[in-house]
Structure 1
Protein backbone atom coordinates (compact mmCIF):
# COMPACT_ATOMS: atom_id res chain seq x y z
CA UNK A 1 0.00 0.00 0.00
CA UNK A 2 2.75 2.44 0.93
CA UNK A 3 4.36 2.41 -2.51
CA UNK A 4 1.04 2.92 -4.31
CA UNK A 5 -0.02 5.73 -1.96
CA UNK A 6 3.32 7.55 -2.24
CA UNK A 7 3.23 7.40 -6.03
CA UNK A 8 -0.38 8.56 -6.15
CA UNK A 9 0.19 11.41 -3.70
CA UNK A 10 3.41 12.56 -5.38
CA UNK A 11 1.70 12.48 -8.76
CA UNK A 12 -1.16 14.58 -7.39
CA UNK A 13 1.26 17.03 -5.79
CA UNK A 14 3.20 17.38 -9.04
CA UNK A 15 0.02 17.96 -11.05
CA UNK A 16 -1.14 20.60 -8.58
CA UNK A 17 2.22 22.34 -8.73
CA UNK A 18 2.24 22.34 -12.52
CA UNK A 19 -1.30 23.65 -12.49
CA UNK A 20 -0.32 26.60 -10.31
CA UNK A 21 2.30 27.58 -12.89
CA UNK A 22 0.15 27.28 -16.00
CA UNK A 23 -3.37 28.38 -15.01
CA UNK A 24 -4.05 32.11 -15.35
CA UNK A 25 -6.84 32.85 -12.85
CA UNK A 26 -7.16 31.78 -9.23
CA UNK A 27 -10.72 30.59 -9.82
CA UNK A 28 -9.59 28.34 -12.67
CA UNK A 29 -6.71 27.01 -10.62
CA UNK A 30 -8.85 25.91 -7.70
CA UNK A 31 -11.57 24.53 -9.94
CA UNK A 32 -9.01 22.38 -11.75
CA UNK A 33 -7.38 21.43 -8.43
CA UNK A 34 -10.70 20.06 -7.18
CA UNK A 35 -10.96 17.84 -10.25
CA UNK A 36 -7.40 16.56 -9.82
CA UNK A 37 -8.07 15.69 -6.17
CA UNK A 38 -11.33 13.98 -7.08
CA UNK A 39 -9.53 11.82 -9.65
CA UNK A 40 -6.82 10.87 -7.15
CA UNK A 41 -9.44 10.05 -4.52
CA UNK A 42 -11.25 7.79 -6.98
CA UNK A 43 -8.00 5.96 -7.77
CA UNK A 44 -7.29 5.53 -4.06
CA UNK A 45 -10.76 4.18 -3.36
CA UNK A 46 -10.60 1.78 -6.30
CA UNK A 47 -7.24 0.43 -5.12
CA UNK A 48 -8.38 -0.14 -1.54
CA UNK A 49 -11.78 -1.54 -2.52
CA UNK A 50 -10.64 -3.93 -5.23
CA UNK A 51 -6.90 -4.56 -4.98
CA UNK A 52 -5.86 -4.39 -1.34
CA UNK A 53 -6.71 -6.10 1.92
CA UNK A 54 -5.61 -4.60 5.23
CA UNK A 55 -3.01 -6.78 6.91
CA UNK A 56 -4.22 -6.04 10.43
CA UNK A 57 -5.99 -3.47 12.58
CA UNK A 58 -2.93 -1.23 12.70
CA UNK A 59 -2.80 -1.18 8.90
CA UNK A 60 -6.48 -0.22 8.72
CA UNK A 61 -6.02 2.55 11.28
CA UNK A 62 -3.01 3.90 9.38
CA UNK A 63 -5.06 4.18 6.21
CA UNK A 64 -8.13 5.84 7.70
CA UNK A 65 -6.27 8.08 10.15
CA UNK A 66 -3.35 9.16 7.96
CA UNK A 67 -3.53 8.13 4.32
CA UNK A 68 -7.11 8.86 3.32
CA UNK A 69 -7.30 12.25 5.11
CA UNK A 70 -4.20 13.40 3.19
CA UNK A 71 -6.17 13.22 -0.04
CA UNK A 72 -9.61 14.19 1.22
CA UNK A 73 -8.39 17.20 3.20
CA UNK A 74 -6.86 18.67 0.04
CA UNK A 75 -10.15 18.17 -1.77
CA UNK A 76 -12.19 19.87 0.96
CA UNK A 77 -9.64 22.68 1.30
CA UNK A 78 -9.77 23.52 -2.42
CA UNK A 79 -13.57 23.47 -2.36
CA UNK A 80 -13.55 25.88 0.59
CA UNK A 81 -11.31 28.35 -1.19
CA UNK A 82 -13.14 28.01 -4.51
CA UNK A 83 -16.45 28.79 -2.78
CA UNK A 84 -14.83 31.68 -0.92
CA UNK A 85 -13.63 33.20 -4.20
CA UNK A 86 -16.83 32.83 -6.22
CA UNK A 87 -19.05 34.02 -3.35
CA UNK A 88 -16.87 36.99 -2.46
CA UNK A 89 -19.05 40.12 -2.31
CA UNK A 90 -18.33 43.23 -4.30
CA UNK A 91 -17.27 46.32 -2.39
CA UNK A 92 -14.40 47.83 -0.47
CA UNK A 93 -12.09 46.51 2.20
CA UNK A 94 -14.64 46.75 5.02
CA UNK A 95 -17.13 44.55 3.17
CA UNK A 96 -14.41 42.02 2.44
CA UNK A 97 -13.29 42.08 6.08
CA UNK A 98 -16.86 41.34 7.20
CA UNK A 99 -17.05 38.48 4.74
CA UNK A 100 -13.78 36.95 5.96
CA UNK A 101 -14.72 37.39 9.61
CA UNK A 102 -18.04 35.66 8.95
CA UNK A 103 -16.14 32.70 7.45
CA UNK A 104 -13.75 32.64 10.42
CA UNK A 105 -16.67 32.68 12.85
CA UNK A 106 -18.23 29.75 10.99
CA UNK A 107 -14.97 27.81 11.31
CA UNK A 108 -14.84 28.57 15.03
CA UNK A 109 -18.31 27.09 15.41
CA UNK A 110 -17.14 23.97 13.61
CA UNK A 111 -14.13 23.54 15.90
CA UNK A 112 -16.22 24.26 19.01
CA UNK A 113 -18.82 21.69 17.92
CA UNK A 114 -16.10 19.06 17.47
CA UNK A 115 -13.97 20.18 20.40
CA UNK A 116 -13.47 16.76 22.01
CA UNK A 117 -12.33 15.04 18.83
CA UNK A 118 -10.32 18.09 17.79
CA UNK A 119 -8.38 17.95 21.06
CA UNK A 120 -7.87 14.21 20.56
CA UNK A 121 -6.40 14.85 17.10
CA UNK A 122 -4.18 17.77 18.19
CA UNK A 123 -2.84 15.92 21.23
CA UNK A 124 -1.65 12.98 19.12
CA UNK A 125 -3.67 10.53 21.20
CA UNK A 126 -4.14 6.94 20.01
CA UNK A 127 -6.22 5.20 22.67
CA UNK A 128 -9.49 5.61 20.71
CA UNK A 129 -8.05 4.93 17.27
CA UNK A 130 -9.66 1.51 16.95
CA UNK A 131 -13.07 3.07 17.57
CA UNK A 132 -12.54 6.13 15.41
CA UNK A 133 -10.59 4.67 12.50
CA UNK A 134 -11.76 1.13 11.89
CA UNK A 135 -14.88 0.17 10.02
CA UNK A 136 -17.95 -1.04 11.84
CA UNK A 137 -17.00 0.38 15.22
CA UNK A 138 -19.35 3.36 15.17
CA UNK A 139 -22.98 4.41 15.08
CA UNK A 140 -23.74 5.62 11.56
CA UNK A 141 -26.72 7.66 12.67
CA UNK A 142 -24.71 9.45 15.36
CA UNK A 143 -22.05 10.46 12.82
CA UNK A 144 -24.36 11.03 9.85
CA UNK A 145 -23.09 14.55 9.15
CA UNK A 146 -19.54 13.30 8.74
CA UNK A 147 -20.12 9.91 7.18
CA UNK A 148 -19.57 9.12 3.52
CA UNK A 149 -22.41 6.61 3.28
CA UNK A 150 -19.99 3.83 2.31
CA UNK A 151 -19.37 1.47 5.22
CA UNK A 152 -16.71 -0.45 3.30
CA UNK A 153 -14.60 2.65 2.68
CA UNK A 154 -15.45 4.81 5.70
CA UNK A 155 -15.09 4.92 9.45
CA UNK A 156 -16.81 7.10 12.00
CA UNK A 157 -14.17 9.82 12.00
CA UNK A 158 -11.90 9.71 8.95
CA UNK A 159 -14.04 12.21 7.07
CA UNK A 160 -14.36 14.40 10.14
CA UNK A 161 -10.57 14.38 10.51
CA UNK A 162 -10.23 15.36 6.85
CA UNK A 163 -12.56 18.31 7.47
CA UNK A 164 -10.57 19.39 10.51
CA UNK A 165 -7.27 19.34 8.60
CA UNK A 166 -8.85 21.18 5.66
CA UNK A 167 -10.50 23.76 7.89
CA UNK A 168 -7.24 24.45 9.74
CA UNK A 169 -5.62 25.27 6.40
CA UNK A 170 -8.62 27.29 5.30
CA UNK A 171 -8.44 29.26 8.55
CA UNK A 172 -4.79 30.06 7.84
CA UNK A 173 -5.75 31.14 4.33
CA UNK A 174 -8.48 33.48 5.62
CA UNK A 175 -6.20 35.01 8.24
CA UNK A 176 -3.62 35.67 5.55
CA UNK A 177 -6.22 37.35 3.35
CA UNK A 178 -7.33 39.45 6.32
CA UNK A 179 -3.72 40.45 7.00
CA UNK A 180 -3.31 41.55 3.39
CA UNK A 181 -6.20 43.98 3.78
CA UNK A 182 -4.93 45.25 7.12
CA UNK A 183 -1.40 45.78 5.78
CA UNK A 184 -2.41 47.34 2.46
CA UNK A 185 -1.92 44.28 0.30
CA UNK A 186 1.10 42.82 2.09
CA UNK A 187 0.60 39.48 3.89
CA UNK A 188 2.45 40.78 6.93
CA UNK A 189 4.60 43.64 8.02
CA UNK A 190 8.07 42.36 8.77
CA UNK A 191 10.91 44.36 10.27
CA UNK A 192 13.82 44.94 7.93
CA UNK A 193 16.79 42.78 8.84
CA UNK A 194 20.11 44.56 9.19
CA UNK A 195 21.80 41.53 7.66
CA UNK A 196 19.25 39.69 5.47
CA UNK A 197 19.88 36.06 4.59
CA UNK A 198 20.57 35.54 0.91
CA UNK A 199 20.75 32.15 -0.79
CA UNK A 200 24.12 32.04 -2.57
CA UNK A 201 24.26 28.37 -3.54
CA UNK A 202 22.82 26.70 -6.61
CA UNK A 203 19.08 27.33 -7.04
CA UNK A 204 18.44 23.71 -7.91
CA UNK A 205 19.96 22.77 -4.54
CA UNK A 206 17.41 24.94 -2.76
CA UNK A 207 14.57 23.34 -4.72
CA UNK A 208 15.87 19.91 -3.71
CA UNK A 209 15.97 20.98 -0.06
CA UNK A 210 12.47 22.45 -0.08
CA UNK A 211 10.93 19.39 -1.72
CA UNK A 212 12.67 17.19 0.85
CA UNK A 213 11.27 19.25 3.74
CA UNK A 214 7.75 19.23 2.32
CA UNK A 215 7.95 15.50 1.59
CA UNK A 216 8.87 14.87 5.22
CA UNK A 217 5.89 16.96 6.37
CA UNK A 218 7.84 19.35 8.58
CA UNK A 219 5.52 22.33 7.92
CA UNK A 220 1.94 22.50 9.28
CA UNK A 221 1.89 18.77 10.01
CA UNK A 222 2.42 18.09 6.33
CA UNK A 223 -0.69 19.97 5.26
CA UNK A 224 0.66 22.69 3.02
CA UNK A 225 1.10 23.17 -0.69
CA UNK A 226 4.61 23.25 -2.09
CA UNK A 227 3.86 26.60 -3.76
CA UNK A 228 3.26 28.32 -0.41
CA UNK A 229 6.55 27.03 0.95
CA UNK A 230 8.37 28.06 -2.23
CA UNK A 231 6.92 31.58 -2.09
CA UNK A 232 7.84 31.97 1.58
CA UNK A 233 11.42 30.74 1.21
CA UNK A 234 12.02 32.78 -1.93
CA UNK A 235 10.99 35.85 0.05
CA UNK A 236 13.09 34.98 3.10
CA UNK A 237 16.25 34.11 1.17
CA UNK A 238 15.77 36.79 -1.50
CA UNK A 239 16.05 34.37 -4.38
CA UNK A 240 13.97 33.81 -7.50
CA UNK A 241 13.61 30.07 -8.17
CA UNK A 242 11.76 30.64 -11.42
CA UNK A 243 10.14 27.47 -12.79
CA UNK A 244 10.98 25.43 -9.73
CA UNK A 245 8.82 22.52 -10.86
CA UNK A 246 11.02 22.05 -13.92
CA UNK A 247 14.09 22.10 -11.67
CA UNK A 248 12.45 19.40 -9.57
CA UNK A 249 11.74 17.37 -12.70
CA UNK A 250 15.41 17.62 -13.65
CA UNK A 251 16.32 16.34 -10.19
CA UNK A 252 14.08 13.28 -10.57
CA UNK A 253 15.74 12.45 -13.88
CA UNK A 254 19.27 12.31 -12.48
CA UNK A 255 20.97 9.00 -13.20
CA UNK A 256 23.40 9.27 -10.27
CA UNK A 257 23.27 11.04 -6.92
CA UNK A 258 19.61 12.00 -7.22
CA UNK A 259 19.80 13.74 -3.83
CA UNK A 260 23.23 15.27 -4.36
CA UNK A 261 22.64 18.40 -2.26
CA UNK A 262 21.11 16.49 0.64
CA UNK A 263 24.09 14.14 0.53
CA UNK A 264 26.42 17.14 0.72
CA UNK A 265 24.49 18.49 3.71
CA UNK A 266 24.76 15.20 5.54
CA UNK A 267 28.49 14.93 4.80
CA UNK A 268 29.16 18.50 5.95
CA UNK A 269 27.19 18.05 9.19
CA UNK A 270 28.88 14.76 10.02
CA UNK A 271 32.29 16.34 9.54
CA UNK A 272 31.33 19.24 11.80
CA UNK A 273 30.01 16.85 14.46
CA UNK A 274 33.24 14.86 14.33
CA UNK A 275 35.30 18.06 14.65
CA UNK A 276 37.37 17.10 11.66
CA UNK A 277 37.59 20.63 10.31
CA UNK A 278 37.83 24.16 11.54
CA UNK A 279 34.34 25.50 12.28
CA UNK A 280 35.55 29.01 11.50
CA UNK A 281 36.42 28.07 7.94
CA UNK A 282 34.27 28.92 4.96
CA UNK A 283 31.79 26.18 4.00
CA UNK A 284 32.98 26.44 0.41
CA UNK A 285 36.21 24.77 1.56
CA UNK A 286 34.29 21.60 2.21
CA UNK A 287 31.31 21.71 -0.12
CA UNK A 288 31.57 22.30 -3.78
CA UNK A 289 28.32 23.78 -5.04
CA UNK A 290 27.29 23.15 -8.62
Structure 2
Protein backbone atom coordinates (compact mmCIF):
# COMPACT_ATOMS: atom_id res chain seq x y z
CA UNK A 1 0.00 0.00 0.00
CA UNK A 2 2.77 2.44 0.89
CA UNK A 3 4.54 2.04 -2.43
CA UNK A 4 1.27 2.54 -4.31
CA UNK A 5 0.40 5.61 -2.23
CA UNK A 6 3.82 7.21 -2.76
CA UNK A 7 3.69 6.69 -6.53
CA UNK A 8 0.09 7.85 -6.72
CA UNK A 9 0.83 10.99 -4.71
CA UNK A 10 3.91 11.74 -6.82
CA UNK A 11 1.78 11.42 -9.97
CA UNK A 12 -0.76 13.86 -8.52
CA UNK A 13 1.97 16.39 -7.70
CA UNK A 14 3.30 16.14 -11.25
CA UNK A 15 -0.18 16.83 -12.61
CA UNK A 16 -0.60 19.81 -10.30
CA UNK A 17 2.77 21.22 -11.32
CA UNK A 18 1.75 20.95 -14.97
CA UNK A 19 -1.38 22.98 -14.18
CA UNK A 20 0.73 25.86 -12.88
CA UNK A 21 2.51 26.27 -16.23
CA UNK A 22 -0.36 25.87 -18.68
CA UNK A 23 -1.05 29.60 -19.04
CA UNK A 24 -4.52 29.63 -17.47
CA UNK A 25 -5.67 32.31 -15.04
CA UNK A 26 -5.03 31.69 -11.36
CA UNK A 27 -8.71 31.00 -10.75
CA UNK A 28 -8.79 28.40 -13.54
CA UNK A 29 -5.57 26.84 -12.29
CA UNK A 30 -7.00 26.31 -8.82
CA UNK A 31 -10.29 25.10 -10.25
CA UNK A 32 -8.43 22.51 -12.33
CA UNK A 33 -6.33 21.55 -9.30
CA UNK A 34 -9.50 20.95 -7.27
CA UNK A 35 -10.80 18.63 -9.99
CA UNK A 36 -7.52 16.70 -10.12
CA UNK A 37 -7.47 16.26 -6.35
CA UNK A 38 -11.09 15.14 -6.29
CA UNK A 39 -10.40 12.48 -8.94
CA UNK A 40 -7.29 11.33 -7.07
CA UNK A 41 -9.23 11.06 -3.82
CA UNK A 42 -11.87 8.92 -5.53
CA UNK A 43 -9.20 6.59 -6.94
CA UNK A 44 -7.54 6.34 -3.55
CA UNK A 45 -10.82 5.43 -1.88
CA UNK A 46 -11.55 2.85 -4.56
CA UNK A 47 -8.12 1.27 -4.03
CA UNK A 48 -8.53 1.07 -0.25
CA UNK A 49 -12.03 -0.44 -0.57
CA UNK A 50 -10.44 -3.65 -1.84
CA UNK A 51 -7.32 -3.50 0.34
CA UNK A 52 -6.92 -5.26 3.69
CA UNK A 53 -4.64 -3.48 6.14
CA UNK A 54 -1.82 -5.70 7.35
CA UNK A 55 -2.12 -4.52 10.96
CA UNK A 56 -3.00 -1.51 13.12
CA UNK A 57 0.23 0.22 12.19
CA UNK A 58 -0.61 -0.06 8.49
CA UNK A 59 -4.08 1.35 9.11
CA UNK A 60 -2.74 4.21 11.23
CA UNK A 61 -0.18 5.09 8.55
CA UNK A 62 -2.90 5.36 5.94
CA UNK A 63 -5.30 7.53 7.96
CA UNK A 64 -2.59 9.65 9.61
CA UNK A 65 -0.25 10.15 6.65
CA UNK A 66 -1.56 8.98 3.29
CA UNK A 67 -5.17 10.12 3.23
CA UNK A 68 -4.46 13.58 4.74
CA UNK A 69 -1.83 14.21 2.03
CA UNK A 70 -4.52 14.03 -0.63
CA UNK A 71 -7.39 15.60 1.29
CA UNK A 72 -5.34 18.52 2.60
CA UNK A 73 -4.43 19.54 -0.95
CA UNK A 74 -8.09 19.38 -1.95
CA UNK A 75 -9.14 21.57 1.00
CA UNK A 76 -6.27 24.00 0.42
CA UNK A 77 -7.09 24.53 -3.24
CA UNK A 78 -10.76 25.12 -2.39
CA UNK A 79 -9.74 27.72 0.22
CA UNK A 80 -7.51 29.61 -2.21
CA UNK A 81 -10.04 29.37 -5.03
CA UNK A 82 -12.75 30.84 -2.79
CA UNK A 83 -10.33 33.56 -1.67
CA UNK A 84 -9.64 34.55 -5.28
CA UNK A 85 -13.29 34.48 -6.32
CA UNK A 86 -14.48 36.47 -3.29
CA UNK A 87 -11.59 38.92 -3.32
CA UNK A 88 -13.12 42.39 -2.90
CA UNK A 89 -12.59 45.25 -5.32
CA UNK A 90 -10.92 48.36 -4.00
CA UNK A 91 -7.63 49.52 -2.56
CA UNK A 92 -5.07 47.84 -0.35
CA UNK A 93 -6.92 48.75 2.86
CA UNK A 94 -10.01 46.83 1.75
CA UNK A 95 -7.89 43.86 0.72
CA UNK A 96 -6.03 43.92 4.04
CA UNK A 97 -9.31 43.78 5.92
CA UNK A 98 -10.41 40.81 3.82
CA UNK A 99 -7.12 38.96 4.40
CA UNK A 100 -7.16 39.72 8.13
CA UNK A 101 -10.69 38.35 8.35
CA UNK A 102 -9.50 35.11 6.77
CA UNK A 103 -6.49 35.01 9.12
CA UNK A 104 -8.77 35.50 12.11
CA UNK A 105 -10.98 32.65 10.89
CA UNK A 106 -7.96 30.34 10.71
CA UNK A 107 -6.89 31.41 14.21
CA UNK A 108 -10.34 30.49 15.52
CA UNK A 109 -10.01 27.06 13.91
CA UNK A 110 -6.61 26.42 15.52
CA UNK A 111 -7.82 27.74 18.89
CA UNK A 112 -10.84 25.43 18.72
CA UNK A 113 -8.61 22.45 17.94
CA UNK A 114 -5.67 23.45 20.10
CA UNK A 115 -5.25 20.14 21.94
CA UNK A 116 -5.18 18.00 18.80
CA UNK A 117 -3.07 20.56 16.96
CA UNK A 118 -0.43 20.35 19.70
CA UNK A 119 -0.62 16.56 19.51
CA UNK A 120 0.02 16.66 15.77
CA UNK A 121 2.80 19.29 15.84
CA UNK A 122 4.63 17.58 18.70
CA UNK A 123 4.81 14.31 16.76
CA UNK A 124 2.96 12.41 19.47
CA UNK A 125 1.78 8.86 18.81
CA UNK A 126 0.22 7.61 22.04
CA UNK A 127 -3.35 8.33 20.86
CA UNK A 128 -2.87 7.23 17.25
CA UNK A 129 -4.89 4.05 17.64
CA UNK A 130 -7.84 6.09 18.92
CA UNK A 131 -7.52 8.92 16.41
CA UNK A 132 -6.53 7.02 13.28
CA UNK A 133 -8.21 3.63 13.31
CA UNK A 134 -11.80 3.03 12.36
CA UNK A 135 -14.54 2.24 14.84
CA UNK A 136 -13.56 4.71 17.55
CA UNK A 137 -16.00 7.47 16.58
CA UNK A 138 -18.01 9.03 19.39
CA UNK A 139 -21.10 10.81 18.08
CA UNK A 140 -20.79 13.41 20.85
CA UNK A 141 -17.20 14.30 19.97
CA UNK A 142 -15.69 15.79 16.82
CA UNK A 143 -19.03 15.59 15.02
CA UNK A 144 -18.28 18.45 12.66
CA UNK A 145 -15.14 16.76 11.32
CA UNK A 146 -16.33 13.22 10.81
CA UNK A 147 -17.26 11.89 7.38
CA UNK A 148 -20.27 9.67 6.95
CA UNK A 149 -18.40 6.68 5.53
CA UNK A 150 -17.20 4.88 8.65
CA UNK A 151 -15.31 2.29 6.58
CA UNK A 152 -13.15 5.02 5.08
CA UNK A 153 -12.89 7.45 7.99
CA UNK A 154 -11.59 7.77 11.50
CA UNK A 155 -12.48 10.37 14.11
CA UNK A 156 -9.50 12.62 13.28
CA UNK A 157 -8.15 12.00 9.78
CA UNK A 158 -10.35 14.70 8.25
CA UNK A 159 -9.50 17.12 11.06
CA UNK A 160 -5.81 16.51 10.42
CA UNK A 161 -6.36 17.18 6.71
CA UNK A 162 -7.95 20.52 7.59
CA UNK A 163 -5.06 21.42 9.88
CA UNK A 164 -2.46 20.72 7.17
CA UNK A 165 -4.54 22.61 4.61
CA UNK A 166 -4.99 25.61 6.91
CA UNK A 167 -1.26 25.76 7.63
CA UNK A 168 -0.64 26.05 3.89
CA UNK A 169 -3.48 28.53 3.48
CA UNK A 170 -1.96 30.59 6.28
CA UNK A 171 1.30 30.78 4.31
CA UNK A 172 -0.63 31.90 1.25
CA UNK A 173 -2.54 34.61 3.14
CA UNK A 174 0.57 35.97 4.83
CA UNK A 175 2.28 36.26 1.46
CA UNK A 176 -0.74 38.10 0.03
CA UNK A 177 -0.75 40.40 3.05
CA UNK A 178 2.94 41.12 2.58
CA UNK A 179 2.27 42.13 -1.01
CA UNK A 180 -0.23 44.76 0.14
CA UNK A 181 2.24 46.07 2.72
CA UNK A 182 4.96 46.40 0.10
CA UNK A 183 2.64 48.63 -1.89
CA UNK A 184 2.54 51.05 1.04
CA UNK A 185 6.13 51.19 2.18
CA UNK A 186 9.50 49.48 2.12
CA UNK A 187 9.65 47.09 5.11
CA UNK A 188 11.60 48.92 7.80
CA UNK A 189 13.38 45.88 9.19
CA UNK A 190 15.19 45.24 5.89
CA UNK A 191 16.87 48.63 5.73
CA UNK A 192 18.57 48.10 2.37
CA UNK A 193 19.39 50.90 -0.03
CA UNK A 194 18.77 48.56 -2.96
CA UNK A 195 16.45 45.54 -3.15
CA UNK A 196 17.97 42.07 -3.22
CA UNK A 197 17.82 40.80 -6.77
CA UNK A 198 18.71 37.27 -7.85
CA UNK A 199 21.43 37.61 -10.50
CA UNK A 200 22.50 33.97 -10.80
CA UNK A 201 21.02 31.41 -13.16
CA UNK A 202 17.32 30.83 -12.51
CA UNK A 203 17.80 27.07 -12.58
CA UNK A 204 20.26 27.49 -9.69
CA UNK A 205 17.54 29.15 -7.62
CA UNK A 206 15.09 26.37 -8.46
CA UNK A 207 17.69 23.82 -7.34
CA UNK A 208 18.10 25.70 -4.04
CA UNK A 209 14.34 25.95 -3.45
CA UNK A 210 13.70 22.27 -4.08
CA UNK A 211 16.59 21.37 -1.77
CA UNK A 212 15.20 23.55 1.05
CA UNK A 213 11.72 22.07 0.67
CA UNK A 214 13.12 18.54 0.47
CA UNK A 215 14.95 19.12 3.77
CA UNK A 216 11.75 20.49 5.33
CA UNK A 217 13.21 23.77 6.58
CA UNK A 218 9.91 25.68 6.32
CA UNK A 219 6.99 25.12 8.73
CA UNK A 220 8.30 21.74 9.88
CA UNK A 221 8.17 20.47 6.32
CA UNK A 222 4.51 21.38 5.83
CA UNK A 223 4.68 23.68 2.84
CA UNK A 224 4.35 23.45 -0.91
CA UNK A 225 6.88 24.20 -3.61
CA UNK A 226 4.45 26.75 -5.06
CA UNK A 227 4.42 28.78 -1.84
CA UNK A 228 8.20 28.82 -1.53
CA UNK A 229 8.67 29.69 -5.22
CA UNK A 230 6.22 32.55 -4.89
CA UNK A 231 8.02 33.86 -1.80
CA UNK A 232 11.47 33.73 -3.42
CA UNK A 233 10.16 35.41 -6.57
CA UNK A 234 8.77 38.27 -4.47
CA UNK A 235 11.81 38.71 -2.23
CA UNK A 236 14.46 38.42 -4.93
CA UNK A 237 12.54 40.13 -7.74
CA UNK A 238 12.88 37.24 -10.16
CA UNK A 239 10.40 35.44 -12.38
CA UNK A 240 11.06 31.69 -12.37
CA UNK A 241 8.41 31.06 -14.99
CA UNK A 242 7.97 27.34 -15.68
CA UNK A 243 10.03 26.38 -12.65
CA UNK A 244 8.94 22.74 -12.77
CA UNK A 245 10.52 22.38 -16.21
CA UNK A 246 13.76 23.68 -14.72
CA UNK A 247 13.47 21.09 -11.95
CA UNK A 248 12.88 18.38 -14.56
CA UNK A 249 16.09 19.46 -16.30
CA UNK A 250 17.92 19.09 -12.99
CA UNK A 251 16.64 15.54 -12.49
CA UNK A 252 17.85 14.58 -15.96
CA UNK A 253 21.45 15.58 -15.32
CA UNK A 254 23.88 12.70 -15.78
CA UNK A 255 26.74 14.33 -13.86
CA UNK A 256 26.85 16.93 -11.08
CA UNK A 257 23.12 16.57 -10.39
CA UNK A 258 23.36 19.18 -7.62
CA UNK A 259 25.86 21.46 -9.30
CA UNK A 260 24.67 24.69 -7.65
CA UNK A 261 24.54 23.17 -4.17
CA UNK A 262 28.04 21.82 -4.73
CA UNK A 263 29.19 25.33 -5.69
CA UNK A 264 27.58 26.73 -2.54
CA UNK A 265 29.43 24.24 -0.38
CA UNK A 266 32.77 24.98 -2.03
CA UNK A 267 32.20 28.74 -1.76
CA UNK A 268 31.42 28.50 1.96
CA UNK A 269 34.43 26.26 2.63
CA UNK A 270 36.63 28.69 0.73
CA UNK A 271 35.29 31.59 2.81
CA UNK A 272 35.93 29.66 6.02
CA UNK A 273 39.47 28.85 4.88
CA UNK A 274 40.09 32.51 4.06
CA UNK A 275 38.90 33.45 7.54
CA UNK A 276 41.33 30.97 9.04
CA UNK A 277 44.16 32.36 6.94
CA UNK A 278 43.48 35.80 8.41
CA UNK A 279 44.29 34.51 11.89
CA UNK A 280 47.82 35.69 12.56
CA UNK A 281 48.68 33.48 15.52
CA UNK A 282 49.49 29.84 14.72
CA UNK A 283 48.05 28.92 18.13
CA UNK A 284 44.77 30.65 17.28
CA UNK A 285 44.65 28.95 13.89
CA UNK A 286 45.02 25.55 15.53
CA UNK A 287 41.85 26.16 17.53
CA UNK A 288 39.82 26.18 14.33
CA UNK A 289 41.39 23.02 12.91
| Both structures adopt the same fold (TM-score exceeding 0.5) | yes
Q: Distance in 1 between matches of 2:218 and 2:107?
A: 22
CA distance in 2, matches of 1:56, 1:187: 56
Structure 2 segments unaligned to the other structure (5+ residues)? 276-289
Q: Residues of 2 paired with 1:198 and 1:7: CA distance?
A: 37
1:162 aligns with 2:149: no
Which residue number corresponds to residue 35 of structure 2?
Answer: 35
- How does the TM-score come out when normalised to structure 2? 0.79
In 2, Cα distance between equivalents of 1:226 and 1:5: 20
Counterpart of 2:21 in 1: which secondary structure? helix
Q: Distance in 1 between matches of 2:44 and 2:55?
A: 19
What residue in structure 2 maps to residue 230 of structure 1? 229
What whole-Å deviation, never above 9, does each CA across 1:114-154 have from its counterpart, x for those lacking one?
A: 12111211222211111011111221453321112111111
Match of 1:14 in 2: 14
Distance of aligned partners of 1:229 and 1:102 in 2 relative to their CA distance in 1, 3 Å threshold = closer
Give the equivalent residue in structure 2 for 1:63: 62
- In 2 relative to 1, CA 216–64 (structure 1 residues): closer, same or farther, beyond 3 Å? farther
Per the alignment, residue 149 of structure 2 pairs with 150
Separation in 2, partners of 1:18, 1:160? 29
After superposition, residues 185-204 of structure 1 pair within 5 angstroms as 191=190, 203-204=202-203
Spell out, residue by residue over 1:167-202, the C-alpha distance to the aligned partner (whole angstroms, 9 max, x if none). 122223223222322331789666256899887876
Once residues 155 and 222 of structure 1 are traced to their aligned partners in structure 2, the CA distance between those partners, rounded to angstroms, is 24
Q: Does structure 2 retain, via aligned residues, the 8 Å contact 1:208–1:259?
A: no
CA RMSD of aligned residues (A): 3.4
The answer for the alignment partner of 1:285 in structure 2 is none
Q: Partner of 2:183: helix, strand, or coil? A: coil
Aligned partner of 1:84 in structure 2 is 83
**Is the CA contact (8 Å cut-off) linking 1:180 and 1:187 kept in structure 2?**
no
1:12-57, Cα deviation, whole Å (9 max, x unpaired): 222222211223322111111111111221222222222x332221
1:53 aligns with 2:56: no
Change in Cα spacing, 1:208 to 1:105, as seen in structure 2 (3 Å) is: closer
Name structure 1 gaps, 5 residues minimum: 273-277, 282-290
5 Å-filtered alignment, 1:99-110, equals 99-110=98-109
Q: What is the CA deviation profile of residues 255-275 of structure 1, one whole-angstrom value per residue up to 9, with x for unaligned ones?
A: x45845499589969xx7xxx
Distance (whole Å) between structure 1 residues aligned to residue 62 and residue 7 of structure 2: 15
Partner residue in 2 for 1:184: 183
The answer to whether the 8 A contact 1:147-1:154 is kept is yes
Change (3 A) 1:23 1:222: farther
TM norm structure 1? 0.78
What is the deviation of 1:251?
Answer: 3.7
CA change 1:71–1:115 in 2 (3 A) is: same
Give the equivalent residue in structure 2 for 1:286. Answer: none
> By how many angstroms is 1:84 displaced?
1.4
Match of 2:26 in 1: 26
Partner of 2:173: 174
| 1:223-253 deviations in Å (ceiling 9; x for gaps) | 3221222343456667654432222223444
How many residues are matched? 275
